[in-house]
Amino acid sequence: MARALQSASLSFGLVNIPVKLYTAAKSKSVSFHLLHQPDGSRIQEHLYCPVDKREVSRDEIVKGYEVSRNHYVEITNDELKALEETANRNVEIQEFVPLHAIDPVYFEKTYYLGPDKGGEKPYRLLAEALSQRNRGAVAKLVMRGKENLVLLRPADDAHLVLDVMYYADEVKNIREIDVPNAKIKDAELKLAQNLIDSLSNDKWQPEKYRDTYRDRLLDLVKKKEKGQEVVAPPPVPEGQAQVIDLMDALKKSLERRAHGKEKPGAARAKRKEAQSGKVKRAAGS
């Protein structure tokens, strides 16, 4: 059974919906500890005061906000807690917007929403209404010492999802990225569209994809744990950027797709295979 992180209350008009927040996703990236190589012991980090020139305990530590260079205003945990408790815990919906109108770059983290006691019917009502209108609800939620901009959206006719979003001043303007003007020919555009169509699917199937780097890394850990000797493969040299004939590259890509000779990721596999062959020939010479 999923464990709720916190309770909240959604409101729009005179409707009030008690809800609970649940974690929606968790990264499975492999993390490492720092070890002292000679004896394999784990390195410890210590809190050090450069003025007193000594280590300090955590009960001597307070938070500080830098208002100018090397000038800090101290803020206690009790002060932060009081600010959060006096903040409005009611998640009041500000407006409803089309889901396609929000750029995904604004999405920071996703939570699942479930109804709390007494909120079953209005929760289901909001989920169905949003789903049929294909809209999301923009609101604010105070959580973990921060007032978050959030979007409530339907996952289906029965479930709601809450996306924590970046504020506008936190998102960089994409126009800061310089893209030189390049003239695209109609024939090139048509070939590119055909290639996109040949690789397109009507449904998103996330289960098709797996973190193969993580799998290889965990396999390496298991082998070393068993005392097996692991020989690192030679690095694949990075090729220099080549000037290519765009039309020719698009045509050949389409031909390979049409004849079933190349699947997504096959080109990368071919490069690795070719490099492996070079290494074997060099070893045998």
pLDDT tens string 88-114: 567 889 999 999 999 999 999 999 999
Which stretches within the chain are classed as H helix? 77-86, 120-133, 186-198, 212-225, 246-258, 266-284
Q: Which of 73-77, 142-146, 267-271, 280-284 shows the lowest mean pLDDT across its residues?
A: 280-284
Per-residue model confidence (pLDDT) at position 157: 81
| Plot region of 122 (φ>0 → left; ψ -120 to 50 → alpha; else → beta) | alpha
pLDDT exceeds cutoff 50 at 135: yes
- Give the pLDDT band (50/70/90) at residue 78: confident
- Region 56-85: what's the mean pLDDT? 84
Better-predicted residue by pLDDT, 159 or 255: 159
d(CA 59, CA 82): 19
- Of 56, 60, 36, nearest to 46 by C-alpha is 56
% of the chain with per-residue pLDDT over 90: 26
Cβ neighbours of residue 224 closer than 8 Å, sequence gap 6 or more:
230
Length of the chain (residues): 285
Per-residue model confidence (pLDDT) at position 125: 92
For 211-231, letters b (16+ CB in 10 Å) and e give eeeeeeeeeeeeeeeeeeeee
- Give the pLDDT band (50/70/90) at residue 238: low
pTM listed for this prediction: 0.69
pLDDT exceeds cutoff 80 at 185: yes
| Plot region of 207 (φ>0 → left; ψ -120 to 50 → alpha; else → beta) | alpha
d(CA 149, CA 243): 45
Judged on CB neighbours under 10 Å (0-12, 13-18, 19+), 255 is exposed
d(CA 123, CA 120): 5
pLDDT exceeds cutoff 70 at 174: yes
d(CA 176, CA 187): 30
- 187, 252 Cβ separation under 8 angstroms: no
Per-residue model confidence (pLDDT) at position 124: 94
Averaged pLDDT of the chain: 82
